[in-house]
């Protein structure tokens, strides 16, 4: 993996950081080579569950929270010379399914359509979808 990700990946990371970091996640970590990459944000699972109890990841596991963290993972790949978003997961739950889980069917369709789209196109729409997911997962919503 290269030390410096391409500028389009950095823009996407910065946009997602702006949503996730204020909500308890560590800043995104990016790793990439010439063909693929991954970005990961991590939050303490118990704290995230308390702040966003409607998330599909907010049920305490049988073994307890321990030192678990909840990850948001973006997968990207180069296809025909362009960086594409190939996956968005919240602790192994696809973003579209997580949005549907909290009753946001329209945004769920938008999230599903993002997979396979250019990273540059995702830089504004993905942070907005993550914001909607987290806002819909707070108590009293």
| Cβ pair 86, 115 in contact under 8 A | yes
Q: How do residues 97-126 score in pLDDT, each as one tens digit?
A: 999 999 999 999 999 999 999 998 898 899
| Confidence category of residue 140, pLDDT binned at 50, 70, 90 | low
DSSP 63-107: T--TT-EEEEEEEEEEETTEEEEEEEEETTEEHHHHHHHTT-HHH
Q: Name the helix (H) or strand (E) containing 48.
A: helix 45-51
Domain boundaries, the chain: 7-134
For residue 1, what pLDDT is reported? Answer: 42
| Confidence category of residue 76, pLDDT binned at 50, 70, 90 | very high
* Global pTM value: 0.89
| Confidence category of residue 72, pLDDT binned at 50, 70, 90 | very high
Burial of 48 (0-12, 13-18, 19+ CB in 10 A): buried
DSSP-derived secondary structure letter, 52 = -
The Cα–Cα gap between 140 and 40 comes to 29
């Amino acid at each position: 993996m290269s030390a410096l990700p391409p500028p389009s990946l950095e823009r996407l990371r910065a946009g997602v950081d702006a949503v996730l970091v204020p909500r308890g996640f560590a800043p995104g970590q990016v790793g990439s080579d010439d063909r693929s990459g991954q970005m990961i944000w991590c939050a303490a699972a118990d704290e995230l569950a308390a702040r966003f109890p409607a998330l599909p990841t907010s049920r305490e596991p049988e073994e307890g929270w321990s030192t678990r963290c909840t990850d948001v993972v973006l997968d990207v790949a180069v296809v025909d010379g362009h960086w594409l978003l190939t996956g968005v997961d919240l602790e192994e739950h696809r973003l579209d399914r997580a949005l549907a889980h909290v009753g946001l069917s329209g945004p769920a369709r938008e999230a599903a359509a993002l997979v396979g789209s250019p990273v540059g196109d995702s830089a504004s729409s993905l942070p907005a979808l993550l914001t909607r997911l987290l806002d819909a997962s707070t108590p009293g919503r």
